A and B are shown apart, each in its own frame.
Chain A
Amino acid sequence: MTSFDTIIIGAGHNGVVAAGFLAKSGRKVLVLEAADTAGGGARTVEFAPGFRASGLAHVVNRLHPQVMSSLKLDRTLFEGEAVPTLALDAQRGPAVLHGGYGETLEGVSETEAGAFAAMRKKLLLQAGVLKSFLTRKPPRPGDIGLGDALQLGLTGLSLLRHGRQEARDFARMLLMNVADIADEYLTDDRLKGLIAFDATLGIHLGPRSPTSLLGLFYRLTGEVLGQAGGQYLPKGGMGTLARALETAAIAAGARLRFSSPVAQILTEKGSAIGVVLKNGEELRATEVVSAIHPVTTLQTFLPAGEIDTGLSRSLRHIRSKGNVAKLHLALDRVPVFTGVSLKDQRGRLVIAPSVDHVENAFNPAKYGAFSADPVMEITLPSMGDLSLAPPGACVLSALVQYAPYDLKEGWENGKPRFLETILSTIERYAPDIRSSIVAAELLVPPDIEARYRLPGGHWHHGELQADQLLINRPTFALSGYETPVEGLYLCSAGSHPGGGLSGVPGMNAARHIIAASKARSRR
């Protein structure tokens, strides 16, 4: 039986980031991963012979600069891959957003471009204020330290620096719905539909649901390669990013073991002392860091009764049922999207022609049915990276919403019908596509749950809504990456600030663990 300082459960990107930081602090770190590669939701998979795509996440838009710099990721790996967003409209042609979330626009009237610029400026300013919360442990009432108070004060000040009007607008807009903001600033349905889609992607809300603007704020707190609201598709798919992180962690001294699913966390008198693998093997460590779903960690892996009843009640109420389906199409030729230039087809193509479309797509999901006219974002990764498909062929990767985890009719029945619905939707924008399909793979949330060991198949490992944010993420008693079990920490997307490929939960948790153990040894 080997012993480690730190065992990390799960080599998703957050687990690997945490491993890098913790190994750098001098710890002997072992990462245990159930799958045969690292990355979790950020893997490259071959879904049909010769056709490869990013398994779940397919666009990078929030990998944190501190993760990049601390782990010394090679920027050049991703430079030159930034792509535009296209808000498709089969009749009018697309509105094209270049640069960080539409620094410049193409295909819209000058007036509308001005209106969008004003909205973008406002939202980026507000997101800039929120951004400072990403890398901080959320302050908890009762034990707010001087540092926390200072930071909170500074956040307030940074807002006031922009004038009282900005502070008022911030307070006014923070919990609004995205549809009202769209109406407030914009007239072009393509742009309105786009922000409605972006605000709700991965979240169980429609654009008219209260607080739906938070999702857009969250997106805009992201930056890549120095560009707020920027995005890129890594060459070789998301696996490239996962490999870069893995290489950094290994360089820092961490070890990774694959095909090693953890079945249990070992405790002794309330402290974590190691883990048991599914095959019965026991591994010891003084710290166990869980980079998988918080509810699985505490409800399934700990011995019954290890956490108190009140906490276990609140875990049961964490909402974590996914809504997003993943579609992979192997195409024997490059599809033609009406009105879209070949160059722009490297970008993110969004089908969400109006706010109503997004709202109507959401409505059935409330009652356990999939959208009859779904909204989606499409990428054609092989356009920028020929290695992903056989010569002349093409890969289509799409995130389709809404696909409720608990489909009333059952997914066995529903899936073929949903696939057909999606394909006929795409056909409206790329009329000849169907005849080019060689293979299709549709993953609905239960499939994602099974394949990626991601409970509920949820983007964020738990709804990213006002009641499950900050000090309430994943739930109040667990908000500081710590758990009641001494030496057991949480660091997946389910912890603050949330999901997406950012590495922030992993980085924050590692920093917290390092600081806490320093404080302990000073005592």
Chain B
Amino acid sequence: MTLDLATRKAAQPHFHTLLLESPFHERLAALDKTNDWYGWAGHKAPHALDDEELEYFAIRSTAAVFDISPMTKYRITGPGAVAFLDRLTVRNVAKLGINRVHYTAWCDDHGHVLDDGTLFRLGESEFRLCCQERHLPWLLDSAEGFAVDIREETGEVAGLALQGPTSYAILKEAGFAGVEALKPFQIGGFAHEGCTVTISRTGFTGDLGYELFVPRALALSLWDRLFEAGKFLGIRAIGYTALNRARIEAGFIVANADFMTAETALRGNRLRLPDEIGLDWMIDLEKPNFNGRRAIMAARAGKTLKHILVGMEIDGNVPPEHALVYHNKRREVGIVTAAIWSPLAKRNIAIASLERPYGERIQDGLWVEIYALRELQYQKLMKRARIVPRPFVTLARRSANPPGLF
């Protein structure tokens, strides 16, 4: 049987829309001046809507709105939810209080990180897991023997990050009474259009900020409510470029940018254990078995950890994006995964993946080789790099209680 093209196309609707539009697309498109879109997990998302610098400074000086709807979201419920999530992820979920959020990661049997993400505890046995990649088969297979229900809700839930010094002031102005009580990583439910908006004091910027989730149908009204309230408080919609700068300053890592996730990596030596990407602090070896526990313990005991993720400060003002890292200018020991000139720290900062013992036992004598393309000519710079702790920037307002009214 041969089908004509039109019939075949009609039978494959997912090809018609290569990139889905976010629930906020109408508003984003109206503000967009650059027409600089990219694909984020199958959704159309802006690199920038307007001037990147203005968008970055909105995060740091007023308030920025970043659409996080494309983020993959799973709803995990049932009496076995805590035990299941404890088996899935490396952190101790029993220690995560109700209405609290924690940053976590999960691994395969070999201890290789499958993804990192945030886990929202919405109730005694109700959770939302947010992450970059899609993991439904892995989650379902891991749920064998646990009384849980797992559902992907990416498309049903719209999410916005409201970040920056005036973010609290905007929420207050928008009438979210009681939002001042939210401490960092705390979640609250607030009324919106006869429904509930879930607000958590979380974010990816290291600044004072909140994340808001509503059912898809309420997306635009939530947007309008925030923008109305923020009219005189410097609210601005932003794209990923500005957010990326803020997250580097905050020292946060991004899956498939600072490390390759285990199911994305094609090359065996790109796989990473949590200890190799700076997530060792999360791991709880005291709780019952979790995926990768034995492999992590074996790697620690056998001293077979190969890589390490570090924060670096680089001389000069040219960000060494994806530059090679050298020891004593000769021996190649790693790569810079993210780098910017930090407007806030007024320093040239970078996140780098190094091969142990460099970055671990050997911390000195590191250099980065920067190829700066200047009007069709490379300028080769060898700059000194110093290992520094992350975050590169710590803002008191991020964790101040009650939040500041800027």
Task: Name A's B-contacting residues (CB within 8 A).
Answer: 267, 269-270, 303-313, 477, 484
Contacts and interface: CB of A to CB of B under 8 A. Distances in A.
A50 B293 CA distance: 56
Interface stretch (B116-124, B142-150, B370-378): B142-150
A305 B108 contact: no
B290 interface: yes
A305 B294 contact: no
Q: Which of B142, B146, B289, B290 has the most CB of A within 10 A?
A: B289
Nearest to A308: B109
B286 A308 contact: no
Contacts of B108: 308-310
Given A270-B294, A310-B109, A305 B286 contact: no
Contact of B144 (A267, A310, A312): A312
Instruction: Kindly list the 6 A-B residue pairs having the minimum CB-CB distance in the complex, ordered from nearest.
Output: A304-B145, A305-B87, A310-B109, A308-B109, A309-B142, A308-B291
Given A270-B289, A305-B87, A306-B289, A311 B146 contact: no
B203 interface: no
B109 A309 contact: yes
Interface in B241-299: 285-286, 288-294
Interface in B318-367: none
Q: Chain B: interface secondary structure? A: loop
B138 A305 contact: no
Contact of A305 (B285, B288, B292): B288
A309 B291 contact: yes
B287 to A, nearest CB: 9
Interface in B91-150: 108-110, 138, 141-142, 144-146
Contact of A269 (B83, B144, B286): B286
A304 B142 CA distance: 9
12 contacts: A269-B285, A270-B294, A304-B80, A305-B288, A306-B288, A308-B291, A308-B294, A309-B109, A309-B141, A309-B291, A311-B109, A477-B109
A309 to B, nearest CB: 4
Nearest to B291: A308
A304 B87 CA distance: 9
Interface string B64-92: 00000000000000001001101100000
Contacts of A309: 108-109, 138, 141-142, 291
A323 B288 CA distance: 39
A330 B16 CA distance: 71
A312 B87 CA distance: 13
B388 to A, nearest CB: 36
Given A309-B138, A477-B109, A304 B144 contact: yes
Q: Chain A: interface secondary structure? A: loop
A484 B108 CA distance: 14
B294 A484 contact: yes
A468 B1 CA distance: 40
A304 B294 contact: no
Nearest to B80: A304
B266 to A, nearest CB: 18
A270 B141 contact: no
Contact of B83 (A267, A305, A313, A484): A305
Q: Which of B86, B141, B285, B290 has the most CB of A within 10 A?
A: B141
Given A269-B286, A310-B109, A311-B109, A305 B293 contact: no
A303 B87 CA distance: 11
Nearest to A312: B144
B172 to A, nearest CB: 43
A305 B290 CA distance: 7
Contacts of B138: 309
Given A306-B288, A308-B109, 6 more contacts: A304-B144, A304-B145, A305-B145, A308-B108, A309-B142, A477-B109
A427 B57 CA distance: 93
A313 B141 CA distance: 7
A250 B220 CA distance: 77
A484 B290 CA distance: 12
Contacts of B294: 270, 308, 484
Nearest to A305: B87
Nearest to A477: B109
Interface string B202-216: 000000000000000
A267 B287 CA distance: 12
Nearest to B290: A305
A105 B286 CA distance: 66
Q: Which of B86, B145, B285 has the most CB of A within 10 A?
A: B145
Contacts of A311: 109
Nearest to A484: B294
A282 B68 CA distance: 51
Q: Which of B138, B142, B285, B292 has the most CB of A within 10 A?
A: B142
Contacts of B289: 267, 270, 305-308
Contacts of A304: 80, 83, 87, 144-146
B295 to A, nearest CB: 8
A304 to B, nearest CB: 3
A307 B292 CA distance: 9
Contacts of B142: 305, 309
B105 to A, nearest CB: 15
A429 to B, nearest CB: 48
Contacts of A303: 145, 288
A270 B290 CA distance: 10
Nearest to B288: A305
A477 B110 CA distance: 11
Contacts of B145: 303-305
B145 to A, nearest CB: 3
A308 B294 CA distance: 9
A54 B144 CA distance: 38
A310 B141 CA distance: 9
Contacts of B141: 309, 312-313
A270 B109 CA distance: 14
Q: Which of A306, A309, A311 has the most CB of B within 10 A?
A: A309
A179 to B, nearest CB: 37
Contacts of A308: 108-109, 289, 291-294
